[in-house]
Amino acid sequence: MAFDFIAEHLVERQADALLRKRQLVEQSSGRFIQVAGKQYLNFASNDYLGFADDFIEIQAQHLGSHSSALVNGYNKPQQQLEQRLCELLGYESAMLFNSGFSANSSVLKALFQDKSVAQSSAIFQDKLNHASLIDGGLHSAAAMVRFNHNDLRHLESRLQKSKAKHKLIVSEGVFSMDGDQAPIEALCKLAKQSNAWLMIDDAHGFGVLGEQGLGSCEVIKPDLLIITFGKALASSGACLLASKKMIDYMLQFNREYIYSTAMSPLMANCILERLEKLLKADKRRAQLTENIAYFRALAKEHNLALMESTTAIQPLVLGDAEHTLAVANKLKGKGVWLTAIRPPTVPFNTARLRVTISSAHQADDIKQLVDSLVECL
């Protein structure tokens, strides 16, 4: 029977405790989430600074941009946002995308779209990079080489063995499932030594790390920087920052950008307002740091085996997918909302509870989380 594989694969996913389902969220903030009329403590949100609770009043004439940025969809709010990000992060030029996934995957595909160039090109990716980066590499015409997570010796060895003329090293600033940070300074140094470029996806670092909250690359500038607005800024969309030549190249060959309706001017205005608040959010960042330290201290007291992370992402690896899902459901019974992260999002036998901390959480919230984890485990 045609397409009978669909039902078969769904049954397999169900049997392996890997079936994904959407949850209809009625209300959400950095601290709470409401589902099916019940309120939970929210430890699954990327709203690291609690901005989702902040009211934004925007005077905007247009909700939509109405067309591609290369037709007539590029407007003043988009330009102002790009220019402000360039000013803050020290880049010549920028371009906005409607999602981080689109930005990451499309940039890699577009950069190596010329097959004659791609034959002498290679992308060197950390094995724990986000799916969007992996997909972009797989769908580009360049060779893709994986190196062990944050292993500079392994990366250096692979760079030395490569005969590629054009080499691009790709990493996340803060890894989304482990919460640890890439050695940006060492990666940048190695890239220069190897006549390579460096691309960093700083989705989970921007807004949180750095003296001004400008992320993993506040001081050190990779050749290509991707930041997203759906995490610390509690908004949506993303931005590529690079040289003017690089952005001009993307305008010619990035199919997702060329053939997508441009970011809404309303959204660009919202992000601009949040961006200015982010620069003044030192107290929120300090509170987030305090909350992370408190959570890790309580977890240590109760012998919870957290991964080595000092960021807002605090994973607790349980291994078995079915067991991880069962614990997540038990936690919901205690009023705590946590996501069970299972393969293929993470490698097999590393299913985990991915705890995310926000500055909006209070000490009692964190204590309730740890007490509930101890009881459910």
Number of other CB atoms surrounding residue 362 within 10 Å: 12
- Catalytic residue status for 176: yes
- Catalytic residue status for 130: yes
How are beta strands 143-147 and 121-126 bridged, if at all?
parallel
In the numeric block, the tokens 């997918």 are attached to: 321
- The C-alpha angle with vertex 102 and arms to 340 and 249, in degrees rounded to 5, equals 150
- Catalytic residue status for 172: yes
- The C-alpha angle with vertex 108 and arms to 143 and 227, in degrees rounded to 5, equals 140
Selecting among 28, 102, 121, 176, the annotated active-site residue is: 176
Selecting among 140, 204, 223, 309, the annotated active-site residue is: 204
- Catalytic residue status for 231: yes
Q: Encoding tokens for residue 286?
A: 């300090």
In sign, the C-alpha dihedral spanning 151, 243, 177, 106 is: negative
- Catalytic residue status for 68: no
Catalytic residues: 46, 130, 172, 176, 201, 204, 231
